[in-house]
Structures are given as structure tokens and as C-alpha cells.
Structure 1
Amino acid sequence: MSLLEDLNWRHAVKAYDPSKKVSQEDLHTIIEAARLAPTSSGLQPFRLIVVENQELKEKMVQGALNPEVMRDCSHVLVFAAWDSYSDEKIDQVYDHHTDVRDLPRGRFSSYTDKIKEMYGAQTPEQHFEHTARQTYIALGFALAQAAELKVDSTPAEGFSNEIVDEILGLRAIGLKSVSLLYLGYRDEQNDWLSTMKKVRVPMEEFIIKK
């Protein structure tokens, strides 16, 4: 199938079959798609927390808009962004870049000095607004890869960030949750959306030509 066929196939599943689990191979492929997503300055200012432990999911259900979806899906992917930028974080990323490419450390210092100055003039709140936006690119890549593998998915912002952050200990490692991605396989009888036509804004309305 083509990418467009895969995207037409997928929908935000409303009920999962708890007896069906995503294979480790497919899970790894979906995570790899997210890892390969582009980010501003190549900083990858977020991490992906993979939750398959049922006890953890039961705790995270508190405050979830669709608790049964979270409870019954196979895995929950938590997209969590850096709470702020720092010179140390930027240096660590670019040291990794140069090491992998067999280049001397500091090779990109003229560029990193500029972004350090830019972020240094901003507040932590502005930093998080930026890092959080980066996660959505990776979320889109993961959604597309899941669709290609015929793994059902549901992107979600309807949950308590505070509860998820506390349960997963994210603040202690400088992260804040942004969005979730539920993965699994639809419950055909109870997923009311699965029998409905996909609805999007018509192409002629979606495109604004100038």
C-alpha cells in the first residue's frame, strides 16, 4: 500500500482489544521512525517513554480523557520534551554529532554559539514551548509508520500531564510530557469509529493558493 492508502486506513481508535499485543519488532520500527524524525538544529530535545507495564498504565489512567483506551491498548508511548535548553545539553548533542562523524569536537561551535545565545535570551517557558513543538513531528512519523504496519493508534493530549509526569518520574530527569500515542489493535465490535467514513476538509478548501 502507498502512504496515502495507509493514512486513509488509519483512524484514532476508540476501543482496543486488550488480548492483542504489538510485537517487539513492530514496536521497535515505530519507535525508530520517531527517532529518525527531523528536529530544530538536530537537537532532538525530547525523549520517548515506552509504557507496557499494566500496573503503570492503570495508574496513568487517572485523569485520562479516554481511560479505557489507555487501559486496553498494548503500549503507551509518552512524548516528553526537555523542560529547558542549556549550554550543556547543546554541547552534549553536538559532541555526539562530531564523534559519530569522526570530526573534532567543537567543529560546529560557530553555530552552537549562536543557538546558545538565542536560547539564553529566552525563558524556560519559551524553551518548553519550542521543545514541545518538536515532539509533534516525531508523533506524526510514528503514526505513519504504525499505519504502514497495520498497527492501530490513537494520538492523545487528553490526559493529566501532572499525573503522568509524577508516575514516570519525568521532572527528575528534566522532562515534561506533551502527548501520548496509544498502540494496539482495534476491538472491532466496540470501536465505533472504525465503520465510519474518514472525514477531512475538502482539498479545495484545504489549499489556499496565492
Structure 2
Amino acid sequence: MNAITKITPDIQTQIIEAFNFRHATKVFDAERKIDAAAFQTILEAARLSPTSFGHEPFKVLVIQTPEKRELFREYSWGANGMMSGSTGQLGTASHFGIILASTAQTMTAGSDYLQDHYRNVKNLPDEVIEIFNGAYGKFQATDHDITTDRQISDWAGKQAYIVLANMMTAGALMGIDSCPIEGFDMARTTETLRDHFGVDTASWKPAVMFAFGYRAKDPEFPKTRRTMAQTVSWF
């Protein structure tokens, strides 16, 4: 594949069609499953997503075991079907999961985790690592003032949302439906991840849930958005 893809009107049309196709699917066709290769493409879109400083402060958990999914049902009102009179995305999605966001334990400037990331993931030489440490330290301490655990976790959560957006767009381009889900109890989800999934919740916190599959029916209402003039200002 060429490093640079030729942009054509056909590609532009496909992109807009994919965004018009995508909607927050509340109930999926439980009998239809996403092909393994197609979902691998969605995961690859996640892995290749951009993140601030290239720190990749996220991890994707794919939860396919029905019993494991049910652990979240009581307190995940956005996924348990309460608003749709069904078993919700937990019960009907082909693929369901959670994106985790890093905490201050790993994402504080100068952490051992980041030094290892610079050396063994980004393959940076020591002199460049020193530059990264200084720039990221300034970014945290003064530019954006994100120094507490909550602030750093929220910043990492922003990166997780970039990842999920790319996953959903990749899915839509393949005709696969999706839903981002924030309707869950954060504290109880964190406890469940620690007690039943072995997640080190000192290092990782849940950012957002996701569901992928094929819609059970088309949306009842057309997609609505503000006009371009209301959305974008040019100067």
C-alpha cells in the first residue's frame, strides 16, 4: 500500500455516507456477529490512533463472555436496556468492551512507565527522551495544569475518546453499527474490573464502554445536527 492514499470524490462520498449511517445503536441483532477479520480491523484502528505526546494512555478490554458482561448489568443503565425495554447492548451486541484510561501512577511526567515507553515503544534515544520529559513536564505543570490523579485520568480519558471515535468510524465504513456508552456507575465499574478482571485500578480507570454489531432495526428518526454555519467559524 502506498504511504499516501489518493483522495478521490468517491472516497469523500464514502466518508460522509459512513457518518450518516452511524448512529448510537441501542439494540443490536443478537443473531448477527461481526466477522473476526472485520473486528480486528476496528481494533487496529484503535491501536493506530493518535494520542497526546504519543503516550498511548489507553487499553481496550473486549468482553465477550456473557457471564462477564452480566457483571455490569445492575449499574450500567446506558447498556442494560433500561431505556429500550430490551437486554440492551450488554445482551445483544456482537462485541462489547471498555476502554481504560491511564492514571497519574503511569502518566506523571518522569514516571518509570513513560521512560520505558519512550525507550521500548517509541525507540527514542536518551537525548530525545530528555526533551520529551521536559516538554511533557511543562505541559502537565503549567500549560494545562493537570497534576492531580483525577486531572491526569481525565486527560487520558480524552485520548480514549479519540480511540473510540476512530473505532466507530472504521466500523461505519464497513457497515458495522456501534454505540459509545457513558451511562454506568464509575466506582462500581472500577471495583468490578479490579475484582473480576484483574485490572490494576491504581494504574487504569474505566473511561467509556463500547458496543459493536448490527442494528436490529433502522433509527426511528433522521439524524439531526446543527448546520455547518452554526458549527464552524472561519477567520
TM-score higher than 0.5: yes
Deviation at 1:117, TM superposition (A): 5.7
Aligned to 1:139: 164
Q: Deviations over 1:4-45 (max 9, x none)?
A: 111111111121121221122111110110111111100011
Post-superposition CA distance 1:54-103 (Å, at most 9, x none):
1111111121123022221111121110121231121121012453xxx6
What CA distance in whole angstroms lies between the structure 1 residues aligned with 2:47 and 2:72?
24
**CA distance in 2: counterparts of 1:209 and 1:105, whole angstroms:** 42
Q: In structure 2, what is the Cα distance between the partners aligned to 1:88 and 1:31?
A: 27
Q: TM-score, length-normalised on structure 1? A: 0.87
Partner residue, 2:75: 63
Equivalent runs, 1:100-179 vs 2, <5 Å: 104-116=125-137, 118-119=139-140, 122-169=147-194, 170-172=199-201, 174-179=203-208
For structure 2, the residue ranges without an aligned partner over 5 or more in a row are 1-12, 81-87
Report the Cα distance in structure 1 between the residues aligned to 2:190 and 2:37, rounded to whole angstroms. 27
Contact preservation (8 Å) 2:193, 2:201 = no
Query: How big is the shift at 1:195?
Result: 3.8
Moved more, 195-204 or 148-157: 195-204
State the TM-score, normalizing by the size of structure 2: 0.79
Distance 1:107 1:204 in 2: 43
Question: Pick from 44, 51, 64: which aligns with 2:56?
Answer: 44
Deviates more, 1:25-34 or 1:162-171: 162-171
Deviation at 1:167, TM superposition (A): 2.2
Report the secondary structure of 1:11's partner residue.
coil
Letter in 1 for 2:44: E
Residue segments in structure 1 that go unaligned for 5+ positions in a row: none
Q: Distance in 1 between matches of 2:234 and 2:65?
A: 48
Three-state SS of the structure 1 residue aligned to 2:74 is coil
1:119 shift after superposition:
3.9
User: Once the two structures are aligned, what percentage of the paired residues are identical?
Assistant: 26
Aligned twin of 2:4: none
Count of residue pairs brought into register by the alignment:
203
Q: Give CA-to-partner distance per residue, 1:143-176, whole Å, 9 cap, x none.
A: 1001011111011101122232222223446111
> Quick one: structure 1 residues 173 and 28, their matched pair in 2 at CA, closer, same or farther if it must change by over 3 Å?
farther
